[in-house]
A and B are shown apart, each in its own frame.
Chain A
Amino acid sequence: MQHILSFLFKNKFFILFLFLEIVALSLTIQSHSYHRSKFINSANVITGGIYDNFNHLDHYLNLKTFNEQLAKENTTLKNKLSELLSKDNQTSVSRIDSLKYNAKYKYINAHIIKNEYFKSNNRLTINKGVKDGVTSELGVVSSKGIVGIVTNTSAHYAVVMPVINENSRINAKFLHNNHFGTLTWNGEDYNTVQLEDLPIQTKVKVGDTIITGGKSTIFPEGILIGRVKDFKLKNNKYDKINITLFNDMSALYHINIIKNLDKKEILELENE
């Protein structure tokens, strides 16, 4: 016993080193598994608060660009609205006059307070949390297209796993046909993602538009993702297809969180 104790005492520096490394490594391993990084993340009050404060300056300097983006989005939305209104008049179906009744999705506005797009296991932090109705497993989009999925939340902040994260798997399809695949990221270029598991009969051309497939309860169908940049065939199968994102992942600010109001109903039905 005494030998063991004296051995431990002699090597206490090394043992402390080993202990700290094991703690740090297990935290790292935990952070790489989706949904388990509960303990160390930037959605807590201190880190979120600090990012929020320093974000104001950055925001102020970029006001012009954001205003232009918002103005453009307004125009597209107005166009869509007028389209819808005219359709409504043509088909004289009586409708219950309630916004809630037909709404399948609710949008929550938020902005990004931290973005580390240059890291391979990166996360975004946003300034809305549980108190604003944000829960995990909600889709996040910007005016130009897809951003990611909410993974962790606190009272006032939330962490988003963007599409440019190696753990991200999102259902995506082509605009011009209904073949769908899985959207992943290989960790290299932050504006290029990869489409996998695409059936061979799909016709792929450079420049084809990719949209979300709507096969999950997270994203509605038809949210813009990007364009086909290049692709390779390997063993008579599509190897990874490179897709340039419509969003510039390094310059995100205003985003919307999509809440599927039918999610509970769909999940209950599927679990029966």
Chain B
Amino acid sequence: MNNSIVKYSVLILALAFLQVIIFNNVLFNGYINPLIYLLFVFVYPIRENKTNLLLLSFGLGIVIDFFSNSGGSNAASIVLIAYLRLPLLRIIQSNKEFDYLLFNVRKLNLLQLIIYVFTLTFIHHMLLFYLEYYTLKGFGYILLKSFYSSLLSSLILFLTLVLFVKTKQS
């Protein structure tokens, strides 16, 4: 178990580094900024310890917050989707028996995977932008910004999952 914590801590540092140094400098249309550090929530295996998932996600969010002076808004958002991950998967997989031990994101079919990735990304972006703006005044603007940003973020996340996560696990 300790081994897996070390392994995922390295992943967290790598994701935080990529996000802060590279992806925070990528801007489409002046305000759409892809957030790729969410990948952690998608690749962390279902069968691993759930408590560690929350703690590690919180750590990752705080690291991102340290770099972007955003208090704890990234941490709050990523902890929320880490918590919602399992219930959402249950809903998406409603017709099937849910197998904790063998489950892998690639077991989902294409449509399910898209819904899964986009829903979590959208929830994350909504909460994050709301906490950043800290007012309900520009709610329409926040909604629109979250929608476009999560389109881009989830596209990148989706491609990464399809290309780099192994189909079969031994």
Contact = CB atoms under 8 A, between A and B. Distances in A.
Contacts of A54: 21
B51 A24 contact: no
B131 A120 contact: no
Interface in B71-94: 71-73, 75-76, 79-80, 83
Contacts of A28: 70-73, 76, 131, 134
A25 B30 CA distance: 27
Contacts of A116: 24, 68-69
A255 to B, nearest CB: 17
B54 A16 contact: yes
Contact of A118 (B20, B33, B67, B72): B33
B103 interface: no
B76 A40 contact: no
Nearest to B27: A118
Contacts of A17: 54, 79, 83
A119 B70 contact: yes
B58 interface: yes
B79 A24 contact: yes
Contacts of A42: 66-69
Q: Which of A23, A31, A50, A51 has the most chain B CB atoms inside 10 A of its CB?
A: A31
A118 B61 contact: no
B71 A32 contact: yes
B51 A16 contact: yes
A24 B132 contact: no
Nearest to A12: B51
A23 to B, nearest CB: 7
Contact of A27 (B68, B72, B132, B133): B72
Chain B interface SS verdict (over half): helix
A188 interface: yes
B60 to A, nearest CB: 12
B122 to A, nearest CB: 18
Given A40-B62, A187-B133, A20 B70 contact: no
Nearest to B24: A116
Given A37-B69, A187-B138, A120 B133 contact: yes
A29 B133 CA distance: 11
A159 interface: yes
Q: Which of A24, A51, A118 has the most chain B CB atoms inside 10 A of its CB?
A: A24
A100 to B, nearest CB: 36
Contacts of B135: 166
Interface in A49-103: 50-51, 54
Given A116-B24, A119-B132, A187-B138, A21 B76 contact: yes
A40 B65 contact: yes
B23 to A, nearest CB: 12
B166 interface: no
A40 B132 contact: no
A17 to B, nearest CB: 5
A11 interface: no
Contact of B61 (A24, A37, A119, A123): A24
Contacts of A135: none
Nearest to B50: A13
A32 B72 contact: no
A25 B72 contact: yes
A256 interface: no
A21 B80 contact: yes
11 contacts: A21-B76, A25-B72, A27-B71, A28-B134, A31-B69, A40-B66, A41-B69, A119-B70, A123-B69, A166-B135, A190-B30
Given A27-B75, A28-B134, 9 more contacts: A16-B55, A17-B83, A21-B80, A26-B72, A31-B69, A37-B69, A40-B62, A42-B66, A119-B70
